[in-house]
Amino acid sequence: MKKSGLISVVAFIVSVIVTASSLFTASGDPFPGPVMIAICIILPIIGLLAALISNKGALKFIGFTGNLLILLLSVVVPAVSTLFWNQP
């Protein structure tokens, strides 16, 4: 169970790096669409699940909160913005 906290933090760090590079590059996404979906959505979900089964401690807290924030930025905010954005 101790390794799952580390897996959660690694998933968070990889997701942050890819999401930040996607947001701050002028040329668009650094990876093709399905790979970006896997990194920005599926990897934080795996990190959240790994944080849930890990032991209490700093790795659990960092992994859970970080992956939750990445999911908020990459899933919830775009989904809500499409509800309110009705014109180009």
Domain ranges of the chain: 2-84
pLDDT tens digits, residue range 45-78? Answer: 999 999 999 988 899 999 999 999 999 988 888 8
Q: Is the pTM of this model over 0.85?
A: no
pLDDT at 68: 94
* pLDDT value of position 51: 93
pLDDT band at 88 (very low <50, low <70, confident <90, very high): low
Nearest to 14 by CA among 62, 56, 67, 82: 67
